[in-house]
Amino acid sequence: MEAYFDNSATTKVLEPVKEIVIKTMMEDYGNPSSKHKRGLDAERYIKEAAETIAGTLKVAAKEIVFTSGGSESNNMAIIATAMANKRAGNHIISTGIEHASVYNPLAYLEEQGFRVTYLSVDGQGHINLEELEEAICPETILVSIMYVNNEIGAIEPVEAISKIIKKKNPNTLFHVDAIQAYGKLLIRPKSQGIDLLSVSAHKIHGPKGIGFLYIDKRVRIRPMIYGGGQQRGMRSGTENVPGIAGLSAAANYMYTNHREKIRGIIELKDYMIDRLAEIEGVTINSLKGELSAPQIVSASFMGIRSEVLLHALEEKEIYVSSGSACSSNHPAVSGTLKGIGLRQELLDSTLRFSFGIFNTREEVDYCIETLKELLPVLRRYQRG
């Protein structure tokens, strides 16, 4: 049996996604900037995709800008917004548990003279709202906080965060990295007070290399890519029509009977947590039910290095992650695990199991029984 539990790194594409990507590559392959029928057909895919995605968020289609994925969306939201608003101030607020595609743009901005405050988190990965309120000042132009943490699944209270921001400084913009949240949670940027929202398609069974950034029409932002003026000048370059069409198909699928789909993933997450609790020496870092993301379980295995366990599971065709896939080639102690106060001896002994719509209880059972067989052997080996 094969068990793929690395859906937060990437997901298998849906059949309708595959079909529309092939169709727009092989049949409707025109350049959307061309004025003939082929071009107009391609342009229609983009317009329909923007309308579909806007519908899942209850926003306007013109507030959707397609990008190459989550990292570009985060970079655009942070750097382009900061540069466009630097006359209003040079202060930005974020957290110590952000993804590298947020943390590194912030580091770049610090080199350009911006001041960044990094909020701490509690043992469950949630920020302290009082600390946020104290950090906001007249020079604060942007707050960037992820919706769902990609390692432990903590859900940040975005509505409460937005209310504090707008009360303390109404001119401060609020960016949310929703890359692990979109498709899993019901998101309403207008009512939740979100000004910018980043999304990636391949986290929701869509194609790689495509994503979008929601930009509220009131936001002042500067383009990062200049050229032919596509997407109302916000991101020049010939649009990735197959990717956009595939993203639209994935978003439409995930938000059709959404509650039913997510309930199934939550049940699987809770079942995994219950089964992991049967094993001695396992510390579970994620919460059950709707208290954390539907798709993520973080667990630490006393006495075994995560990389060793990861590869031992791989030999049994069980695929998991030892952290964020985007930084897997640059091993370092997780800022998230340190931030939640995980014991020192467990920092390098933690795996992430992440689920999608294709996973089953039988796969969880196979994984648990395999762990019960492997763990005693690996512990003896590492002690020896």
Mind telling me the catalytic residues?
326
In this structure, the strands spanning 64-67 and 282-284 are: unpaired
**For strand 211-215 and strand 196-200, is the pairing parallel, antiparallel, or unpaired?**
antiparallel
Among the listed residues 150, 197, 183, 178, the one whose alpha carbon sits nearest the alpha carbon of residue 250: 183
Q: Which two tokens stand for residue 174?
A: 């609020």
DSSP string, 103-128: HHHHHHHHHTT-EEEEE-B-TTS-B-
The span from the first CA to the last CA of the chain, in angstroms, equals 31
Other beta carbons within 10 angstroms of residue 264's beta carbon come to: 15
Say how far residue 139 (Cα) sits from the centre of its chain. Answer: 28
The encoded tokens of residue 351 equal: 């795996």
Closest to 127 in 3D by CA, of 142, 109, 147, 107: 147
Integer Cα distance of 79 and 286 in angstroms: 31
Of 207, 261, 240, 299, which is closest to residue 11 (Cα–Cα)? 207
